[in-house]
Amino acid sequence: MVTVLLLAGGTSQRMGQDKAMMERGVVHLRALAIQCGVQRVITLCGEMGRQSLFEGETWPDPESCRSLCEVLEWAFEQIEGAVQFIPCDAFQLEIDGLEYLLNSKGGVPLDENGRRQPLLSYCPAGWQMDDTKGEVSSLFSSLQNLEMGDFASQMQNFNAPQD
């Protein structure tokens, strides 16, 4: 079984607003996962007060977690089976791109510029996260690159208002 973890923790410092509520946001990404046959979709919502913003299963960040790396490690440890991460700013992700990820053997997709997108990683069952060096990318360093072909343009995330 695959579990999708939607990353929707709150206001982006660089964007200056809540990316989970922008564009088609989490509602669209959750619908995509369900259309792909994913039976468990969990929204990591940040602080507890944000749970009511989202449908379905939502998990607030544990108080013991001080960074995104720690939240990702914590959530990953709670789940058995494969995990597909999806950040709330994957505005261009569509069903065919998500299906491609879910049908892979696991890895970190490359966007159209050849950059690894660790927050869109597909982690196969039995795989273990790498030791963090304080960077999200280090958690997924042992996962292979996924060449996305025609779907590479769907693998971008957006971090600044001009993106």
Report pLDDT digits (tens) over 83-93. Answer: 999 998 888 99
Quickly count: other Cβ atoms within 10 Å of residue 133's Cβ.
Answer: 10
Q: Total structural domains in the chain?
A: 1
Is residue 105 in some structural domain? yes
Would you say residue 162 lies in a domain? no
Checking if the pLDDT of 19 tops 60, the result is no
Residue 131: what pLDDT? 85
3-class secondary-structure state, position 149: helix
Q: Is there a contact between 135 and 119 (Cβ–Cβ < 8 Å)?
A: no
CA distances from 100 to 40, 94, 127, 154, 157 (A): 18, 10, 19, 11, 17
Q: Would 163 be classed as within a structural domain?
A: no
- Report residue 25's pLDDT band, with 50, 70 and 90 as the boundaries: confident
The whole-chain average pLDDT of the chain stands at 88
Q: Percentage of the chain with pLDDT > 90? A: 69
Cβ–Cβ < 8 Å for 10, 18: yes
How do residues 43-65 score in pLDDT, each as one tens digit?
Answer: 999 889 889 988 999 999 999 99
Which structural domain range is residue 42 located in? 2-155
Residues near 9 by Cβ (< 8 Å), separated by ≥ 6?
20, 44, 45, 46, 50, 61, 68, 71
The answer to whether 30 and 90 have CB atoms below 8 angstroms apart is no
* The model's pTM: 0.90
Instruction: List the CATH number of the domain containing 77.
Output: 3.90.550.10
Q: Would 146 be classed as within a structural domain?
A: yes
Please, which residues have CB within 8 angstroms of residue 52's CB and are 6 or more apart in sequence?
none
Determine, yes or no, domain membership for 25: yes
